[in-house]
Structure 1
Amino acid sequence: MRRLFPLLALLAVAACAPSAPVATPPGPSASSVEAAPLAYELSPEEEAFLDTLQHRTFRWFWETTPENGLVHDRYPSRDFSSVAAIGFGLPAYGIGAERGYVTRAEAAERTLTTLRTLYEAPQGPEQVGTAGHRGYFYHFLEYDDATRFRNVELSTIDTALLMGGVLFSREYFDGDTEAERAIRAYSDSLYQRVEWPWVRNEGATVLSMGWHPESEYIPAEWKGYNEGMILYLLGLGSPTHPLDPDTWTAWTDTYEWEEFYGYEHVNFTPLFGHQYSHLFVDFRSIQDQWMRDKSAELGEPYDYFENSRRGTLSQRAYAIDNPGGWADYSAEIWGLTASDGPSDQAVEVDGETRQFHTYWARGASADHINDDGTLAPTATGGSIPFAPDITIAALMAMAERYPDLWTEDYGFRDAVNPTFVFEDVPIKRNSEVTPYGWVDHDYLGIDQGPILIMAENFRSGLVWETLKESPYLVHGLRRAGFQGGWLSGAEVEMPAPIDFPETAEASQPNEDRLLVVVLGSSTAEGTGPSHRDSTWVNRFREYLEGVDVRFDVLNLARGGYSTFHLAPAGTAAPDHIRGAPDPQRNIDAALARDPDAIVINLPSNDAASGVDTETQLANFAAMVARAEAAGVPVWITTTQPRGLDPEWIAVQEEVRDALLATYGDRAIDFWSGFADADGAQAQRWDSGDDVHYNDPAHRIFFERVRDAGVAATVLAAN
């Protein structure tokens, strides 16, 4: 892993003179689209409400964030930090300074601490112990050292949203104090070291959604209209690792223009896709070639701001129509986006079975509808500038109707579901069922941010106006072909490229490496323990490295996976088990790494998905047969106790017994001592969600894997 040069060098870079002005591209100097004024006049009641909303939401960022600046993904649940939430928190500090919630010096100190934490966190290709690679950051980070949380992906979009906040900080803190100079230096270095073109699948023009050190690039790519706009614009603006302008054309070529509830627009289902890029960029009156062509086709001006306005209005129209018959939907109660939800249970509602979800990308568009009756204040709050009259009214109506949703501490909790009034159905942790439906107790950073930032953009334009001074963003917009409006008169100086040390490449495995591959689901991935060092896999990794330095552990586990996901290619999975087999994380992927041993850990997802005993055992047998044909020994952990229906607990016990009987010394008992009298998880081992296991349980899991003879078997063969 590699750390880049320290603050003194950064400050020297910040003092360098800009290299050249960012020129306006050839073409019309003025747009045919005039900037649409945000002309809605607030009533005194609305003004007071927004004052309160912004102050409370700001306090969430200011009061709950740890001292190192790593903003929570969610709170009061505290599992990890979200880099996108950090990106939203950085403008929040500037808003707080402008509104007098904190002093400018206090905001600068918090910002500097955050940027320093991010820049000094290690980067590199290793599986564990780094915050990112090639300037990109992992989606979620550990609180204590800002390194990768579990097996999450290196996320292109979350890095871009982080960089949006970083570039706001660069322009907002333009003073001559030591702290503000350092902020600009760290901002330049964080942004310029991102190697934007690197995360691409072979032969692709558009970017991948991310990368795993275990399995390379994610097949899913940034296509279609969504929040990926900010990713491409910032990548195009880089002076060190720029994207090619053809990337933007490839992106816009995948747009889908359709009508939904009377509004023609480029569709995206959850509202956050219409909002996130707009947190940072004022798209009023500026157009790329796609929007210029669309304006000519329509015979009237059209831009991305208008597109998001129509997306917002179409969702409200959908709620008024309410084809699903969900409780409370109306002209004032509406708003679907990615958010928490009550449960993953199917429940009978008025004689009809309804499937509910916990966290889910809810939304409604011509493409598809994801709706289970859950409403999120951020859906309307993030659209305040697009339609202030209906969004502010919706927020005020929700605050009045659902008092447990609207709190004196930190504003809106994440979500409410008025249809979900069932007290006998399991619900997500940190939530409750009230007389007016299910209410979340968590606040999510990526949902708090749009409320605060877009309220401020509507009221003062602070974030928009600040980032109009960003040479990187202006350069990116112009290279994407944007013209007109405020962009025509933007005069900015492009900073000189920073000469970074060469990026560390992933080292080639030594010929004498002893590789153990772990396949599995969330337990092996690391869900449950308080820190990555407490997971059974990482304890086992440390143990093996102590036995022989040649040992290496490759963890391909992924939460939610079943035997079908790990089965050999060609295995037919039921329709409800999607993405199986997974060619990047199944037995074939493990064997492609030329391992010396494989450990498979699948606790309960098969039974939870309705897969019977015989089918599970057949899938295990197929995996073992494939490995044995390659001469690779396999160890299989048994099922683990979980609070399922009695029928499926019986299946869990049958699979446990069959694995122990079939595989003998190569079966590892993950059941004994962990079950209560009913065969469910005993409370003492619960990590807090009635499914996953805590630190003491993972220590025992590790000890049982350690004592199964994996190391001795591998060493004897080598």
Structure 2
Amino acid sequence: MLQRLDDTDAALIDRLQESAFNYFLKHTNPDNGLVADTSIEGVPCSIAAVGFALSSYTVGVERGWMTRTGAIERTLTTLRFFAGSHQGRERHASGYRGFYYHFLHMDTGHRAWNSELSTIDTTLLVAGMLTASAYFDRADGDEQEIRDLVKVIYERIDWHWALNKGETICMGWKPASGFLHWRWQGYDEAVLLYTLALASPTHPIPQSSYDAFTSSYSWMLFGEQAYLYAGPLFIHFFSHAWIDFRGIQDRPMAARDWDYFRNTQISIAVQRDYAVRNPGHFVGYNKDVWGLSASDGPPPSRHMRGGRHPKVLGYAARGAPLGPDDGTIAPWAALASLPYDRQAALDGTKALLETYPDLTYEGRFPGGFNPTVKTRRPEGWVDDRCVGIDQGLLVMTIENDRSDFIWSLMRQSPVIRLGLERAGFTGGWLEQGEEADRKTA
């Protein structure tokens, strides 16, 4: 059983979680279910944000923030759009080969900007769809249609094509230039991607592709503990939002008597240790104010506190302990750590809100802030937007800490179970069987 939060902490977490959830009520097109990438007016849809929204709607029902009927309506609108949108090379297409473009116009759903056909963002989108399929399990027509549409969308994704005759999956593809040069290899958020690709009943990748992915892992030491390195915190959170990695191991983890859940716990400790050491001498860093991840950053400025003149990075995947780092903190990161290190998450969230009481927008954390930049406010530079995927991650990870809800749903997903087994995962809930898991969840 999870240890209950005390009433004061529970009220704080509930307020922050509901505020994050409300992002999707405010920034979704009700006609097609598309979710804005950020809170800035006029931005396109991020398909990853749609995936987080679909998962968050199930939490909203459980928490009483949305009726089941309302969630079904939103989910069906979204799924009908993606199932029926045009797949092709043309400019007005939404996707190709079952994958979808990273950004879509909020009104038409056509490809926005010159965005790539994104394998990882399609993965996050479909993970949200699989969450909906697992949750809406009743026999009535609408819930059956949700499951049928998810099946159609998932099974038409050509994961094998995305290998582009290589061992690992390519990050993306564009109609004019073909596949991007980069592939998903080395530890990153693509564990979920490989799980879905391995489980496909129509276009699966071979198990050797997962072996190739893990063969380029990089390990580091924190004290005497070896851990799997990835600098930005989001990498340690994204796949975990859906997959319960507690006590299950693939072959690289089994060889070291380790698992991805404990690895995320260590990565949080690494970030806190880095903030205490503060090698860049940035303003605000301490054991409770920390969090380096992928985020936007300040524009170039000569006005810095403490005599600092760091090179600001704009949008960058900041990380610890190897950087890059320019003093920009992702304020949602501490709260997203709740299932892995509850005390660190609570201390970090409270410290942020007490030190920087004007940091949030409508109760939601912005994408980033940099107190080393000299402004009239103690927060320094603050991103003028909230980011959809950040808000969805918070809804899901908070709920996993509070009730095990998303993890419990996805432990019952045949796709997640099969993909993990084909990747070579064993132990824990994977060996309990689906019926046993339902009884203990």
Give the structure-2-normalised TM-score.
0.95
Within-5 A mapping of 1:59-458: 59-67=22-30, 68-126=32-90, 128-202=91-165, 204-260=166-222, 263-295=225-257, 302-345=258-301, 350-365=306-321, 368-407=322-361, 409-422=362-375, 434-458=377-401
Q: 2:338 touches 2:345 (CA, 8 Å); kept in 1?
A: yes
Residue number in structure 2 paired with 1:593: none
Structure 1 counterpart of 2:366, which letter?
A: R
Q: Structure 1 stretches of 5 or more lacking a match? A: 1-36, 296-301, 423-432, 493-718
Q: Secondary structure at the match of 1:70?
A: coil
Residue 410 (structure 1) shift: 4.4
Q: 1:261 touches 1:318 (CA, 8 Å); kept in 2?
A: no
Cα distance in structure 2, aligned partners of 1:211 and 1:307: 31
1:560-591: CA deviations, max 9, x gaps?
xxxxxxxxxxxxxxxxxxxxxxxxxxxxxxxx
Cα distance in structure 2, aligned partners of 1:325 and 1:384: 27
Structure 1 counterpart of 2:132, which letter?
A: S
Q: Secondary structure at the match of 1:150?
A: coil
Distance 1:362 1:309, change over 3 A: same
Q: 1:252 touches 1:290 (CA, 8 Å); kept in 2?
A: yes
Calculate the aligned-residue CA RMSD, in Å: 1.7
Distance 1:347 1:355, change over 3 A: farther
Q: 1:40 touches 1:389 (CA, 8 Å); kept in 2?
A: no
Cα distance in structure 1, aligned partners of 2:301 and 2:198: 44
Q: 2:37 touches 2:49 (CA, 8 Å); kept in 1?
A: yes
Q: Could you tell me the percent identity over the aligned residues?
A: 41
Residue 176 (structure 1) shift: 2.2
The worse-fitting range, judged by mean Cα deviation, of 389-398 and 96-105 is 389-398
Distance 1:83 1:230, change over 3 A: same
The worse-fitting range, judged by mean Cα deviation, of 234-243 and 117-126 is 117-126
Residue number in structure 2 paired with 1:486: 429
Residue 381 (structure 1) shift: 2.4
Residue 63 (structure 1) shift: 2.3
Distance 1:309 1:347, change over 3 A: same
Residue 262 (structure 1) shift: 6.1
Q: Secondary structure at the match of 2:382?
A: strand
Q: Say which one has the larger Rg.
A: 1
Which structure has the highest helix share of the two?
2
Cα distance in structure 1, aligned partners of 2:37 and 2:180: 22
Q: Secondary structure at the match of 2:256?
A: helix
Cα distance in structure 1, aligned partners of 2:40 and 2:170: 32
Residue number in structure 1 paired with 2:438: none
Residue 182 (structure 1) shift: 1.1
Residue 349 (structure 1) shift: 5.3
Q: 1:131 touches 1:146 (CA, 8 Å); kept in 2?
A: yes
Residue 76 (structure 1) shift: 3.0
1:475-508: CA deviations, max 9, x gaps?
101100111111112338xxxxxxxxxxxxxxxx
Q: Structure 2 stretches of 5 or more lacking a match? A: 436-441
Cα distance in structure 2, aligned partners of 1:181 and 1:269: 41
For CA contacts below 8 A with separation 6 or more, give which structure has more relative contact order: 2
Q: 1:378 touches 1:450 (CA, 8 Å); kept in 2?
A: no
Which structure has the highest strand share of the two?
1
Q: 1:457 touches 1:464 (CA, 8 Å); kept in 2?
A: yes
Residue 332 (structure 1) shift: 1.0
Cα distance in structure 2, aligned partners of 1:399 and 1:78: 29
Q: 2:336 touches 2:397 (CA, 8 Å); kept in 1?
A: yes
Within-5 A mapping of 1:597-608: none
1:184-203: CA deviations, max 9, x gaps?
1111111111011111344x
Residue 260 (structure 1) shift: 4.1
Cα distance in structure 2, aligned partners of 1:98 and 1:173: 12
Q: 2:297 touches 2:316 (CA, 8 Å); kept in 1?
A: yes
Residue 280 (structure 1) shift: 0.4
Q: 1:121 touches 1:145 (CA, 8 Å); kept in 2?
A: no
Q: Secondary structure at the match of 2:227?
A: strand
Residue 411 (structure 1) shift: 1.9
Residue 406 (structure 1) shift: 2.1
Structure 2 counterpart of 1:139, which letter?
A: H
Residue number in structure 1 paired with 2:420: 477
Structure 2 counterpart of 1:356, which letter?
A: V
Cα distance in structure 1, aligned partners of 2:288 and 2:372: 16
